[in-house]
Chains A and B, each alone.
Chain A
Amino acid sequence: MIANHSAGLGLKPAHYEEAHAAPADGLWLEVHPENYMVEGGPRLAWLETIRARHPLSLHGVGLSLAAAAEPDRDHLRRLAVLVDRFEPALVSEHLAWSTWRGSYRPDLLPIPRTAESLARLADNIDRTQCALGRRIAVENPSHYLRIAGHEHTEIEFLAELARRTGCGLLLDVNNVFVSGRNLGFAAADYIDAFPGEHVDEIHLAGHSADPQLGEALLIDSHDAPIAPAVWRLYERLIARIGPRPSLIERDENLPSFDALLSERRQAQAILTAPARQAA
């Protein structure tokens, strides 16, 4: 169980020992289940050790929910094994595709948001929730392209998926900021319109400017501290919808565990600000 006012950290092998030793003051940890889809060995042993002390979230990147095909059965089976074994408090995936015709591309690829893709996603989320025997949350990805043929806004699309399948939503505030900049919409408007009642989890991460194009193209690189503008959007969101489990994501250019704990404290302060206690 993860309390709404608890902030968590993405967990990397380099931080196993410190994460395990960290005070269990509501600290929860999130991993990509794909990094634990092995038969045995030290990775699973570490996760077991850490899970005995801290709540866990499984944040998938490889289920390819938005592909025009059913989720890969072997992948779904492996995910179910991990869910059964580690009993995570949260399980999430993305509004994106990656595996297609038997090959996996390590990225979160976009789709046109049509009636057809909506039906496909709803079906795939339904299959996933049935296979896992639990609700999952679906995350808004970062966008880099203007795609012709959208029939729905992303918010309409996500809200409809939640309505049809009973899934939760994972709102990545940094992805909203990055997408807003890249596609030319106001991130604050998106944050204000997002259906708070479906939000199971929030993500916060750093981004970087494209090496060639600079600030005109932001990359959701998870390789830097969370930007001040993203913190402001987060505060705005929490002020409106109330506290939700919030995660600091960092995948590249990994800082010390203490530096991540410091960002976690910053999120924690926003979640537990006196004005929010009643929320």
Chain B
Amino acid sequence: MALLQIVGRTFLSFLAAVGRLFLFMSLSISHAVRPPFYGRILGRQLLEVGYYSLPVVGLTAIFTGMVLALQSYTGFARFSAESAIPNVVVVSITRELGPVLAGLMVAGRIGAAMAAEIGTMRVTEQIDALTTLATNPYKYLIAPRLWAGLISLPLLVLTADIIGIFGGYLVATYKLDFNAATYLKNTREFLEVMDVVSGLVKAAVFGFLIALMGCYHGFHSKGGAQGVGAATTNAVVSASILILSSNYIITELFFAR
């Protein structure tokens, strides 16, 4: 009996949490598409989410591309299929590794920062102060962050795609003695528009989810420093899980037949 109660209660509180999240999301979106817009804050967030994430995302991408070339070589050399390496690198990076790894890195960087900042504003009454000054916190705090996530992540992933492919090219030409021209030709021939587009759609979804999780957990944090800490952790963990699960769903939608 007690076990059933626990199961039931957990399930109900899970449903309640999902409901709260969807309410928050629809409220945020409805404010994000209606004026007033805060361009100044959007600019600052674009800089924060997009520009300052470049080093992290770039490093992730170059090493991923490099290791991808190296690993596929050790595998493909066994049945002399080395010529497939550029194809493997370009498809893996644009379709999967670019968006997912950039998403996870940005989730750690930005999701945490958003949750901590908004959470601190919540527990120090700054959000109440905003409301008192007749400024809607959804419009002022949340909408610019959602837009920044939605816009920045595709741009970051596009950069990551280029850097990742370049990483693979570096290892292939300098270490594995590929002919540079052939490698690039193979890369270009095998790459399809859909590979990049699907990756960018993923990136936009991930960017939105990262910002949404950061804002949601920050906005609902309570109880001082500990509450803000918990909000930060929850934002990163939930954003990462949502990235991985929505990645599967989007892949299914794009490529399953």
- Is this pair of chains taken from one and the same complex? no
Identify the B interface with A (CB < 8 A). Answer: none
Identify the A interface with B (CB < 8 A). Answer: none
